[in-house]
Amino acid sequence: MDSTTVKASETSTTSAPQGFDMVMYRIKKHFTRVDPYLTIIGIFLWLFAYWVLCEGLKIWRFDKLPGPVAISKDWFSTTPFQGISIFTQEYYDHIVVSCRRILIAFGLATSLGVPLGLFMGWSRSIRDFVFPIIELLRPIPILAWVPLSILLLPGFEGPVIFLATLASFFVTTLNAMLGVDSIDEEYFRAAGCLGSSRWDVFVNVVVPGALPFIFTGLQISIGVAWFSLVAAEMVSGDLGLGYLIVDAYMNNVTVPMVIAMITLGFIGYFSSACVRAVGNKLMEWHVKELNQQGR
C-alpha cells in the first residue's frame, strides 16, 4: 500500500465530530483565523487610548472624565464610592425599569407596525389612505413630541413608553411596507396561477416575502426605541438608565453616568442580537440561501 491509499482510507473512516467535540472543533477553528485576534487587539487599543487620555496623561478636559480604572473599581466594588455598582440594588432597578419599558414599547410598535405595513404594501387603497399621514408625521423629531406626550398622558410611564413606541413604530411600518414592495411580481403571478385566493397570497407570499425587510427594520427599530427611551427618560422620568445618566450628571458624580452609558451599550447590543436570532430562526430559507452564496 502506498501513502495515498492510506490517507484515503483514513479520511473515509473519520466521521464528523459530534456534540461536545463539535463545539471544541468550532472554537479551535475559530481561533485559527485572524479576525478574533483583531477584535481582541481592537478592544484593548480603544481601552488603552481611553486610559491614556483620562488617566495616563490626564489631557486637558479629559481629566474631568472618569477613566477605565476608576470606573471598573466602582463598578465591581461591593462598596461603590459613587453609589452604583453591580452589587447595589439601585443599579438593577434602573436596568429593569428601562428594559420593561423597551419590551412594552417595542412589542406595541411591532404588533401594530408590522401588520399595518404589510397591509399598506398589499393593498393600494390602504396605502393611499394611510401613507401620506405617516410620511407627514415620520420626519417630526421624537423629542418634538415630548411636550405633547406629557400633556396627553398621565404619570411618568405613559409619556416615556409612548415616545419609544412612536419612534420604533414608524421604522417598523415603513420597512414592512417596503418589504412587500420588494417581492418579485412573478411570485404573485405564480400564486395566482396555482389558484390562490387573495388571503392565500397574503399568508403565503406577502408575509414570508417581506420577512427579510421586516427583520432589518426591527433591528433598526429596537435601536431607535432605546434611543428615544433614554431621551424621554432624561426629560421626564423617575427611574431608568436615561434618568440615571442625567441624575448622576446633576449630582456631579461622573462614574455612575459612564456606567449607565456602557450598560446601555451592552443591553442594546444584546437586544439587537435577540431580534437577529429570532429573525434567523423564522427565515431558515434565507439563512441557507445566503450560506449557499458563501456569505
Binding site for other proteins (CB under 8 A): 184, 186-187, 189-197, 200, 204-205, 208-209, 211, 283-286, 288-289, 292
Q: Which is nearer to other proteins, 139 or 195 (CB)?
A: 195
* In the complex, minimum distance from the CB of residue 294 to other proteins, in angstroms, rounded to a whole number: 12
Percentage helix, strand, coil for the chain under 3-state DSSP, each rounded to 5: 80, 0, 20
Task: Write the DSSP assignment of 92-124 as a string of letters.
Answer: HHHHHHHHHHHHHHHHHHHHHHHHHHHHHHH-H
Q: Which is nearer to other proteins, 164 or 207 (CB)?
A: 207
Is 232 buried (19+), middle (13-18) or exposed (0-12) by CB count in 10 A? buried
Q: Which is nearer to other proteins, 181 or 200 (CB)?
A: 200
* In the complex, minimum distance from the CB of residue 190 to other proteins, in angstroms, rounded to a whole number: 4
* In the complex, minimum distance from the CB of residue 146 to other proteins, in angstroms, rounded to a whole number: 41
Q: Which is nearer to other proteins, 136 or 193 (CB)?
A: 193
Question: Distance between CA 245 and CA 56 in Å, rounded?
Answer: 25
Neighbouring residues of 128: CB distance < 8 A, sequence distance ≥ 6: none
Task: Write the DSSP assignment of 85-96 as a string of letters.
Answer: -TT-HHHHHHHH
* In the complex, minimum distance from the CB of residue 193 to other proteins, in angstroms, rounded to a whole number: 5
Q: Which is nearer to other proteins, 123 or 204 (CB)?
A: 204
